[in-house]
Amino acid sequence: MTEVKERPHTDIAKGIFSPSALAAYQKCPMNFYYEYVMGIVPKEKKIELSFGSIFHKALAGIYKGGTEKDSRTMLDEIPSVLDGAEKRSREKAHQIFGAYLEKWREKDKKWKILAVEEEAYVELPDGTIILTILDLLIEEELGKFVVDHKTTAAFGATRTGSFRPSLQMGSYLYAARALFGDDVRDARINDIFIGKEPKFQRFDVNLTVREMERFPRNVALTVEDIKRDVMRKEFAQYENSCHAFYHTACSFVPVCLHGEELIELRYRKKEENGDS
């Protein structure tokens, strides 16, 4: 079975946070509470995340110098049908993967691959630890970039402005600079459209000097809010975010609507290995 590299674990007591955890809190503190304080996830993993994790691993295989055959073997672990979600079926994954290689294989030969799935452990001035995995670090004519793969149902020009300001993108760039030097120029989105026909786009996030100067303080303020909420045992619910997670409903909408008696029925504790 393919070993899908899990997202790093958040440990609030030790001051360790993944970019995903910080982003979840900013979207909705109640979502953060269920996933990172109670430590629960749906009994059935969200289709989007399962598909994306395996697809990321297949891409990592290519950028590590592996063969297309080996990467396609990884894709075979995606079920043929996922609850009727044909867009994220095994067959669709193979179609998209083939189109991706046709689109980018020759162009990517111009990249110098510096790191693939690099784990970054970075301490900020306030003592907070950012623990993350960088999908890809490359060097090209324009400089060094940290590349983040995104399998997405959204596509087009509106995407280019949706990642800044972004604590998550800031985390990736800050970590990349800590590991590989301040000459890492920017974060780059590698969009992989999950739709009827495969589409792809890449764009630089264009994080400014001011954004990156403010990044450690923004993290510190967010962590202060998290610790306050944990101490008070009170977490706000942001209703506007209920349908803003991965372009679908938040996993915890049923609990917010009907109460925590649904937890035993629909959710389980995160496992030490395998849950993001």
Tell me the Ramachandran region of residue 275: left when phi exceeds 0, alpha when psi lies from -120 to 50, beta otherwise.
beta
Name the residue with higher pLDDT: 112 or 270: 112
115: Cβ–Cβ under 8 A, 6 or more apart, which residues?
134, 136, 137, 179, 180
Rg (the chain; Cα; Å): 19
| For residues 202-215, average pLDDT | 95
| The predicted structure's pLDDT at residue 124 | 96
Q: Is the pLDDT of residue 152 over 70?
A: yes
CATH 3.90.320 fits 16-43+110-269, yes or no: yes
Whole-angstrom Cα distance, residue 4 to residue 275? 10
Q: Domain residues of the chain, as ranges?
A: 16-43+110-269
135's CB contacts (< 8 A; 6+ apart) are 56, 59, 60, 116, 117, 146, 147, 148, 149, 190
Quick check: 91 pLDDT over 70? yes
* pLDDT tens profile 93-106: 999 999 999 999 99
Mean pLDDT, residues 203-218 taken together: 95
pLDDT digit string (tens) for 55-90? 999 999 999 999 999 999 999 988 876 555 667 888
What does the pLDDT average to over 142-171? 87
**Per-residue confidence at 49, pLDDT binned at 50, 70, 90?**
low
